[in-house]
Amino acid sequence: MSEVQTDRTADAIVARAGARFDKWLDERHVTTDRFFAWLLAGQWLFGIAIALTISPHTWSGKVESIHAHVWLATLLGGAIISLPLLLIRMRPGHVMTRHVVSVSQMLISALLIHLTGGRIETHFHVFVSLAFLAFYLDWRVLVTATLVVVADHLILGLFLPESVYGIDNPEWWRFLEHAFWVLFLISVLVYGCATTIKTWLGFAQEVVMLEALAERQLDGAHGEGS
Amino acid sequence: MSSTKYDLVSIRSDGGAERKMGPHEFAALPINERVSAVLQKRLKFYLRGVEVPEREALKPD
């Protein structure tokens, strides 16, 4: 095999490996999108169930009506999940889809926290969501989620503190405490994503080397045969 | 990712000079350079001073 031929063959093998690696990642993105389609729909129903369980009705004198939380869970929850579900169906695996999923998942966290009156235990949903979002192996998705959760805690903490903390006079910096724990978790998750990607790259490169060996042997066999 | 099947790699250059390196250093070379070396039979792998067949050395752990 001449040097030019070798370079061309090496480039072709490496390009195939790059395409294979991209396919692995793409498959992971599509699989995670599908997972979130079920999760988002399930959480929407769960939110409605919570609203119906905790505060199904409200009273104005003797007049009973459906509590605003039920409408909030149904309509706002439905609105939150509609765009990601549409994108998962129309553009699975696309970078925009997973960022929209990320935003929606964190908004669902905010909605569930609101529906439970800012119960601290419901804040665990934020951490579970971040762990699920790490399935994408894309650290940028985690950054998007973090920005949403910090903004939500800051804004609702200022204007509707009971909704997010369950008390009406939290310290102004309470959102920073929550943000610290979120950052603590995502620093570990980002590291996990990076090491998984590195491992996959290692696998892809091992396959490349074996392909090169097979290519050479095939070339040698052809050379001997001709 | 570096192999545990060899602890030394020797790469022969076009001019015939030999470069020796450990598995980590080898794994850090650009992938095109490693592939070209395989295609041109310029690699030799050793474990504790004994040459390891290329096919064995390159098998995934």
Give the tens place of pLDDT for each residue, B9-60: 999 987 788 999 999 999 899 999 999 999 999 999 999 999 999 989 988 7
What is the number of domains present in chain A? 1
Q: Examine residue A109 and state whether it is found in any structural domain, yes or no.
A: yes
**Which has the closest alpha carbon to B39: A13, A190, A17?**
A13
Structure confidence by residue, pLDDT tens digits, A3-61 = 778 888 889 998 988 998 999 999 999 999 999 999 999 999 999 999 999 877 666 67
Q: Is the ipTM of this complex over 0.85?
A: no
**Which has the closest alpha carbon to B4: B18, B20, B24?**
B24
Q: Examine residue B33 and state whether it is found in any structural domain, yes or no.
A: yes
Domain range enclosing B33: 8-58
Q: With contact defined as beta carbons under 8 Å apart, do A103 and A144 qualify?
A: yes
Q: Examine residue B42 and state whether it is found in any structural domain, yes or no.
A: yes
Contact A216 B38 (CB under 8 A): yes
Q: Examine residue B1 and state whether it is found in any structural domain, yes or no.
A: no
For residue B55, the chain A residues in CB contact (below 8 A) are: 213
What is the number of domains present in chain B? 1
**Residue B55 neighbours by CB under 8 Å, 6+ apart:** A213
For residue B14, the chain A residues in CB contact (below 8 A) are: 3
**Which has the closest alpha carbon to A111: A64, A66, A160?**
A160
**Which has the closest alpha carbon to B34: B51, B57, B4, B16?**
B57
Read off the pLDDT of each residue in A195-208 and give the average, rounded to a whole number: 90
Report whether pLDDT(B1) > 60: no
Q: Examine residue A140 and state whether it is found in any structural domain, yes or no.
A: yes
Q: Examine residue A220 and state whether it is found in any structural domain, yes or no.
A: no
Question: In DSSP terms, which residues pair with B18 in a beta bridge?
Answer: B12
Q: Which pTM value belongs to this model?
A: 0.84
Report whether pLDDT(A222) > 70: no
Q: Examine residue B30 and state whether it is found in any structural domain, yes or no.
A: yes
| B1, B14, B36 member nearest A206 (Cβ) | B1
Q: Examine residue B49 and state whether it is found in any structural domain, yes or no.
A: yes
